[in-house]
């Protein structure tokens, strides 16, 4: 797992180009603390850079950027390919020889052998840049689930790319995207493909960007897309396959030449991961958890009962209000892009790092795949409002409750309105007041966000799942997890998002996948026999921190007098009275005091 | 069967004064004892909002804040009190509720925590009678216990002294380096000796002694020209204005920083930043801030005419001075400045403080007081 960056610019001198790429890489050193490399091809003016976090083949043989033996293809790569051994064997059979034990070399030689077709063979989390010096092409490739980030900018024949948006400021003068604050206040993050910078975009998951060095133009193509079907209709069969495929996924994702652990909240998803992973690790599995002095948030007892059953060692870190306050600025600085979440990931990954772990497994993805969120219920309720006229829906802006005010979004033509109604932070009238702009500007900006039109026609459950999987998980959870974990040089692996596992879940019929009576019914039925009852028969907790208490208590964040905007001040007064969620209050802090 | 305990408070979470700190610690004791299935607590706060509860101290089911709704508080406290075995009152203002319950159910145990100035004054006869009818008065210091006997003639066998303790979540540091981020924030050199006070800076409470500290500063600067005095605590505008003028009058602007409210997360760091904690106060019931400073290894100067004497263990943990004697204050500061502490000194002081004023001892002692038989029961 690494950080990558690069610039292709024929107008720039070699020295400046290499210096800029070096600066870009150095700005991401936290995510690649073990090594640094830059490769410059003078003929094509292509400069690739890499900061390495060595997880497989820790020797210098794994240095990057890596070139094939005849130096016709160069790669700068970030990620893990879980089936790299299978692909390597396949290549061996074709007579391809390897010099290292890395997956990087496998990707490089797979491309040399199969060209673009190689990309669809890769099962893992990755983002890489590949320079084909024979065909004068540069590829930027991102994994099918978009777990690893990859941003690019193409202006005046110049292509710049990096794993983090912040790195772009070392490459060129980029202006801020004028809509960034609207996105942030509406979503709580910047939705893909946008970033905080104008003309810097996120490459979509399962896509590759092909840049032609001769023409200076590029095209983006999809190489992998998950397809939904209802092939599996028998519950018992579905559970059997889920257990089989998740086992396989976890086995695959335990490949590492360094210690591996599990982010263990004590909830259902991480308990399943921990319980399965503990079967396949030689040493005791390190289970990272957070505990709190705050009585309402301590999950210590729930975790204890499972830990006793497993071959594990618990690494429990008590995180206090003092820790929160003293690390708050570092947490904010670790955010590559503004987010109103992810702080919990920062703390648990810090604990992982302090305990010598470079890789951890996480239960991320299970809620999105199996319907674990309240939005799966709420979507039915808001569908019942379909009979209301647009003007009636728009009148909800005059309601007092922030949650009900978000109903206004249902007046949008884009399905994004439905998502924002379910998951949004502030309603458009509040955003307009907070940014001192008119509401029409807010609505036009949100309506213009590109969106897959077919989503409108999906059934309620599938649409909710689509929103959670492609919007919330993609733009918030995965992005937060990546930059918060990589800020400590820790890679987070996500077994529920293994390509084969996602394919399986997407082929299970909705009738058995989403149950009204029990959320994540299939997972519970599949694993409840091996887990303590308190793990699966209670409401979702996850890594829930006492942020509501901590942020209210901390005057530097919550004091209304710090907020000069009238609406912001009023909202912080509400927060003081515990009538506003911490993530909404945190958005205001971020907007006014930490932008 | 577990004893049902009703703890009545005025404020517990919405304020950061000494009495509230004691209440929070008592809450945590009650919570811990409930987890051990020893008792079943309920805590009512007259002025706190329900959502002001700090969830480190108490489970949400065990707390209710009445948000200044005094009549409702009294009504609910009375009804719940009738169903409780022990009613613990955090303030003398609440004794009437205890008295009413006692009238109806004489077997209920009514205990009062007596802190400081709120009981060091004479009461009307009716209130005095109520005070004497309580089963126990738990005094936070021997000084307060003596005062109660002296002023109110409460029988000695009804009085028990339970010194306050360090908050169970107080952050200790064994690394006594001065935090760089605070040196930077206050633009103080690592070589400058630092005096530190932490108290409310209030126009209505002028007994904390910071005026005297300011007055002796010019004399101290002759031998210690780099000396800096950090005066911390939430201020009111009137007092802040007065202090600004006083500081300007003595031309001490370069040496005194009024740093205002300190977040709980940074309290320990401020003690570590400082070389001497000084608060020659005259009306402390106990002075939890002293033991917090000492627990951070800091040498302390306190007044010798109030409950501070208990906090400093009669001078074993710090220097006690006559709070009205400027020469004595100056002499003691100079003495400390001339004999800076080593790391071993700090560790030693910290250990002594924690041995005496730790939470575990406090919990055991409070449990003993709450669950031991009253005089009536012994008879």
The three-state DSSP-derived secondary structure of A524-582 is: HHHHHHHCCHHHHCCCCCCCCCCHHHHHHHCHHHHCHHHCCCHHHHHHHHHHHCCCCCH
Distance from CA of A583 to the nearest CA of B (A): 17
Confidence band, pLDDT 50/70/90 cuts, at residue A414: confident
B34 vs A372: CA distance, rounded Å: 34
Across the interface, whether the CB atoms of A295 and B58 are under 8 A apart is answered yes
Question: What's the confidence (pLDDT) of residue A456?
Answer: 82
Task: Kindly report the nearest CA distance between residue A485 and chain B, in angstroms.
Answer: 25
Secondary element (H or E) of residue A132: strand A124-132
Interhelix angle A235-253/A499-506, rounded to 10 degrees, is 170
> What is the dotted CATH code of the domain comprising B180-356?
3.40.50.2000
Please, what is the end-to-end C-alpha distance for chain A in angstroms? 28
Nearest CA to A474 among A500, A502, A448, A447? A502
Distance (Å, rounded) from C-alpha A571 to C-alpha B258? 30
The CATH class given to the A2-222 domain equals alpha beta
Give the minimum alpha-carbon distance from A486 to chain B in angstroms, rounded to a whole number: 25
Residues B35-54: what's their mean pLDDT?
96
Tally the residues of chain B: 379
Residue A108: count other Cβ atoms within 10 Å of its Cβ.
25
CA distance B13 to chain A (A): 11
Least confident piece of the model among A268-277, A312-321, B44-53, B368-377: B368-377
Distance set, CA A216 to CA A5, A8, A45, A96, A156 (Å): 18, 9, 12, 32, 8
Residue B55 contacts A, CB cutoff 8 Å: yes
Burial of B302 (0-12, 13-18, 19+ CB in 10 A): buried
pLDDT of residue B49: 95
Distances (CA, A) of A426 to A123, A397, A548, A588: 38, 11, 17, 10
Residue among A544, A307, A350, A351 at smallest CA distance from B55: A544
What pLDDT, on a 0 to 100 scale, did the predictor assign at position A57?
A: 63
Residue A211 CA to residue A138 CA, distance in Å, equals 5
Residue A242 has, within 13 A of its CA and on its CB side, a CA count of 27
For residue A135, CA distances in Å to A11, A140, A199, A213, A482 come to 21, 15, 27, 9, 33
- With CB atoms and an 8 Å threshold, state whether A295 touches B56: yes
Q: Are B59 and A296 a contacting pair at CB < 8 A? A: yes
- Record: contact A578-B51, CB cut-off 8 A: yes
This model of the complex carries an ipTM of 0.91
Q: Give the pLDDT of residue A344.
A: 94
Distance from CA of A104 to the nearest CA of B (A): 42
Question: In terms of C-beta density within 10 A (0-12 exposed, 13-18 middle, 19 or more buried), how is residue A330 classed?
Answer: exposed
**Interatomic CA distance for residues A396 and A374, integer angstroms:** 21
Contact A82, A252 (CB under 8 A): yes
Give the DSSP per-residue string, A18-53.
HHHHHHHHHTTGGG--SEEEEEEETTTTEEEEEEE-
The yes-or-no verdict on residue A538 having pLDDT over 70 is no
Task: Tell me the pLDDT band of A50, cut-offs 50, 70 and 90.
Answer: very high
Mean pLDDT of B34-52: 96
A106-A111-A117-A121 Cα dihedral, nearest 10 degrees: 10
* Rounded Cα–Cα distance for residues A406 and A421 (Å): 5
Question: In 3D, which of A339, A353, A390 has the Cα closest to residue A183?
Answer: A339
B51–A contact, CB cutoff 8 A = yes
Average pLDDT, chain A: 91
SS3 content of chain A, % helix, strand, coil (to 5): 50, 15, 35
Measured between CB atoms, which of A294, A326, A554 is closest to B55?
A294
Contact between residue B52 and residue B11 where contact means Cβ atoms under 8 Å apart: no
Residue among B114, B161, B150, B163 nearest B134 (CA): B114
Contact A98, A109 (CB under 8 A): yes
Nearest to B60 among A296, A555, A578 (CB): A296
Question: What is d(CA B293, CA A544) in angstroms, rounded to the nearest whole number?
Answer: 33
Which of A342, A424, A335, A421 is closest to A380 using CA atoms? A421
Radius of gyration of the CA atoms of chain B, in A: 22
**Among all residues of chain A, which has the CA nearest to that of B168?**
A293
**What strands, in cross-sheet order, belong to the sheet with B39-45?**
B63-65, B39-45, B3-9, B86-89, B109-114, B136-139, B159-161
Cα distance from B59 to chain A (closest Cα, Å)? 6
Residue of A nearest to B55 (CA): A294
- Which residue did the predictor score with more confidence, B86 or A259? B86
Chain A touched by B61 (CB under 8 Å): no
Q: How far apart are CA A285 and CA A252, in angstroms?
A: 16
* pLDDT for residue B374 is more than 90: no
Question: Beta partners for A152?
Answer: A161, A201
| pLDDT per residue as tens digits for the range A122-159 | 999 999 999 999 999 999 999 999 999 999 999 988 99
pLDDT at res. A220: 97
CATH for the stretch B3-165+358-378? 3.40.50.2000
- Is A472 a residue whose pLDDT tops 60? yes
CB contact under 8 A, A320 and B51: no
pLDDT in tens, B163-218: 999 999 999 998 999 999 999 999 999 999 999 999 988 887 777 788 899 999 99
Give the C-alpha distances (Å, rounded to integers) separating A164 from A29, A48, A238, A591, B340: 11, 15, 39, 20, 49
- The pLDDT of B108-131, averaged and rounded, is 93
Q: What is the pLDDT of residue A594?
A: 81
Of A84-88, A457-461, A522-526, B77-81, least confident by mean pLDDT is: A457-461
**Comparison of pLDDT for B162 and A514, the residue scoring more:** B162
How far is residue B200's CA from residue B180's CA, in Å, rounded to a whole number? 26
Is residue A185 within 8 A of residue A435, CB to CB? The reply is yes
Tell me: the pLDDT tens digits for A15-41? 999 999 999 999 998 877 777 889 999
| Distance, CA of A270 to CA of A251 (rounded, Å) | 15
The confidence band for A542, taking pLDDT boundaries of 50, 70 and 90, is low
Confidence of residue A376 (pLDDT cuts 50, 70, 90): confident
Indicate which of B265, B266, B269 best probes the interface with A, i.e. most A CBs within 10 Å of its own CB. Answer: B265
| Nearest residue in B to A327, CA atom | B265
Q: Would you list the domain boundaries of chain A?
A: 2-222, 546-595
Q: Which residue has the higher pLDDT, A108 or A298?
A: A108
- Rounded CA-CA distance A321/B236 in Å is 27
Amino acid A180: pLDDT: 97
CATH 3.40.50.2000 location in chain B: 3-165+358-378, 180-356
Instruction: Return the residue of B nearest to A326 by Cα.
Output: B265
Residue of chain A minimizing CA distance to B266: A322
Mean pLDDT of chain B: 94
Distance CA B110, CA A105 (A): 78
> Is the confidence at residue A389, as pLDDT, over 60?
yes
Q: How far apart are CA A168 and CA A195, in angstroms?
A: 11
Cα separation, B161 vs B114, whole angstroms: 9
Distance CA A522, CA B127 (A): 66
Name the residue with higher pLDDT: A591 or A531. A591
């Amino acid at each position: 797992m690494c950080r990558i960056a690069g610039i292709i610019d024929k107008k720039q001198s070699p020295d400046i180009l290499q210096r800029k790429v070096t600066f870009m890489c150095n700005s991401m050193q936290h995510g690649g603390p073990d090594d640094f490399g830059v490769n410059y091809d003078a003929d094509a003016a292509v400069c690739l850079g890499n900061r390495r976090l060595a997880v497989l083949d820790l020797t210098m043989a794994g240095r990057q950027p890596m070139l094939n033996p005849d130096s016709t293809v160069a790669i700068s790569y970030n990620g893990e390919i879980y089936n790299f051994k299978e692909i390597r064997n396949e290549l061996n059979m074709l007579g391809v020889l390897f010099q290292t034990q890395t997956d990087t070399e496998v990707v490089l030689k797979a491309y040399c052998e199969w060209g673009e077709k190689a990309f669809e063979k890769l099962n893992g989390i990755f983002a890489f840049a590949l320079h084909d010096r024979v065909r004068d092409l540069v590829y930027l490739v991102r994994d099918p689930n978009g777990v690893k980030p990859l941003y690019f900018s193409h202006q005046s024949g110049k292509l710049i790319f990096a794993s983090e948006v912040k790195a772009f400021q070392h490459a060129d003068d980029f202006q801020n995207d004028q809509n960034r604050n609207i996105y942030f206040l509406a979503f709580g993050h910047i939705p893909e493909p946008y970033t905080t910078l104008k003309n810097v975009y996120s490459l979509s998951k399962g896509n590759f960007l092909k840049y032609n060095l001769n023409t200076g133009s590029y095209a983006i193509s999809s190489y992998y897309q998950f397809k939904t079907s209802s092939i599996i209709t028998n519950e018992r069969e579905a559970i059997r396959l889920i257990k089989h495929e998740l086992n396989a996924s976890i086995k695959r994702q335990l490949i590492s030449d360094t210690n591996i652990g599990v982010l263990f909240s004590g909830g259902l998803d991480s308990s399943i991961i921990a319980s399965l992973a503990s079967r396949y690790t030689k040493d005791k599995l390190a289970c990272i958890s957070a505990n709190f002095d705050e009585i309402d948030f301590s999950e210590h007892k729930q975790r204890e009962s499972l830990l006793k059953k497993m071959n594990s060692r618990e690494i429990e870190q008590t995180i206090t209000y003092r820790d929160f306050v003293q690390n708050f600025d570092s947490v904010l600085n670790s955010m590559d892009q503004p987010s109103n979440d992810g702080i919990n990931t920062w703390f648990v990954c810090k604990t992982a790092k302090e305990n010598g772990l470079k890789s951890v497994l996480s239960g991320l993805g299970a809620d999105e795949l199996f319907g674990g969120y309240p939005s799966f219920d709420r979507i039915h309720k808001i569908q019942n409002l379909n009979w209301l006229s647009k003007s009636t829906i728009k009148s909800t802006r005059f309601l007092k409750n922030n949650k009900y005010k978000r109903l206004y979004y249902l007046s949008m033509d884009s399905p994004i309105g439905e998502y924002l109604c379910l998951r949004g932070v502030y309603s458009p009238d509040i955003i307009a007041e907070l940014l001192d702009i008119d509401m029409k500007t807010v609505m036009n900006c949100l309506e213009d966000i590109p969106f897959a039109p077919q989503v409108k026609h999906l059934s309620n459950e599938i649409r909710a799942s689509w929103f959670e999987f492609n919007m919330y998980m993609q733009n918030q959870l995965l992005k937060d997890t990546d930059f918060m974990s990589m800020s400590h040089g820790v890679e987070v692996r996500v077994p529920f998002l293994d390509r084969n596992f996602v394919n399986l879940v997407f082929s299970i019929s909705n009738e058995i996948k989403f149950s009204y009576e029990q959320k994540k019914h299939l997972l519970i039925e599949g694993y409840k026999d091996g887990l303590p009852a308190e793990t699966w028969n209670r409401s979702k907790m996850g890594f829930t921190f006492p942020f509501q208490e901590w942020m209210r208590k901390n005057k530097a964040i919550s004091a209304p007098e710090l907020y000069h905007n009238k609406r912001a001040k009023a909202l912080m007064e509400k927060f003081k009275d515990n009538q506003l969620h911490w993530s909404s209050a945190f958005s205001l802090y971020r907007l006014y005091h930490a932008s | 069967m577990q004893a049902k305990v009703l703890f009545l408070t005025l404020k517990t979470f919405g304020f950061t004064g000494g009495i509230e700190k004691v209440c929070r610690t008592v809450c945590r004791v009650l919570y811990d004892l409930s987890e051990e299935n020893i008792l079943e607590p309920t805590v009512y706060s007259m002025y706190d909002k329900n959502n002001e509860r700090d969830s480190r101290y108490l489970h949400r089911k065990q707390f209710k804040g009445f948000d200044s709704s005094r009549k409702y508080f009294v009504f609910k406290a009375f009804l719940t009190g009738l169903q409780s075995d022990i009613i613990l009152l955090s303030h003398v203002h609440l004794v009437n509720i205890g008295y009413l319950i006692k009238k109806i159910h004489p077997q209920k145990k009514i205990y009062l925590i007596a802190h400081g100035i709120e009981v060091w004054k004479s009461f009307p006869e009716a209130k005095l009678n109520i005070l004497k009818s309580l089963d126990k008065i738990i005094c936070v210091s021997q000084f307060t216990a003596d005062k109660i006997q002296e002023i109110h003639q409460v029988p000695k066998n009804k009085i028990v002294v339970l010194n306050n303790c360090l908050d169970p979540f107080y952050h200790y540091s064994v690394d006594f380096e001065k935090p760089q981020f605070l040196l930077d924030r206050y633009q103080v050199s690592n070589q400058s000796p630092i005096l530190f006070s932490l108290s409310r800076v209030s126009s209505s409470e002028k007994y904390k002694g910071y005026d005297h500290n300011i007055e002796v500063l010019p004399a101290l600067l002759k031998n210690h020209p780099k000396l800096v005095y950090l005066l911390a605590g939430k201020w009111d505008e009137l007092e802040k204005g007065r202090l600004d003028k006083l500081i300007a009058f003595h031309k001490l602007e370069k040496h005194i920083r009024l740093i205002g409210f300190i977040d709980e997360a940074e309290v320990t760091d401020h003690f570590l930043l400082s070389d001497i904690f000084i608060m020659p106060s005259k009306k402390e019931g106990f002075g939890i801030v002293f033991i917090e400073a000492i627990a951070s290894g800091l040498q302390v100067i306190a007044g010798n005419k109030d409950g501070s004497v208990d906090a400093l263990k009669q001078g074993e943990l710090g220097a006690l001075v006559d709070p009205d004697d400027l020469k004595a204050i100056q002499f003691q500061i100079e003495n400390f400045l001339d004999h800076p502490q080593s790391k071993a000194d700090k560790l030693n002081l910290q250990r002594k403080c924690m041995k005496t004023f730790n939470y575990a001892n406090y919990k055991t002692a409070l449990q003993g007081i709450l669950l031991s038989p009253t005089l009536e029961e012994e008879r």
